[in-house]
Amino acid sequence: MRNLLEEIYDNLIEGKAQEVKGLTEKALSQGFSPAMILQKGLIAAMDVVGWRFRQNEIYIPDVLMSSRAMHAGLYALKPHLENSREIFNARVVIGTVAGDLHDIGKNYVAMMLQGAGYQVINIGIDIPPEEFVAAVEEHQPEILGMSALLTTTMQEMHGTMELLVEKGLRDKVKVIVGGAPIIREFAQGVGADGYAPDAVSAVELVKKLLGS
Instruction: Return the domain boundaries, the chain.
Output: 4-84, 88-210
**Whether 203 contacts 170, CB under 8 Å:** no
CATH topology of domain 88-210: Rossmann fold (3.40.50)
27, pLDDT greater than 60 = yes
CATH topology of domain 4-84: 1.10.1240
Sorted by sequence, the CB contacts under 8 Å of residue 133 that are 6+ apart come out as 160, 163, 164, 167, 169
What dihedral do alpha carbons 199, 203, 204, 208 form, nearest 10°? 140
Of 43 and 134, the structure prediction assigns the larger pLDDT to 134
Q: How far apart are CA 97 and CA 157, in angstroms?
A: 7
pLDDT digits (tens, 9 = 90+) for 62-89: 988 998 899 899 889 888 875 455 556 6
Q: What is the pLDDT of residue 1?
A: 46
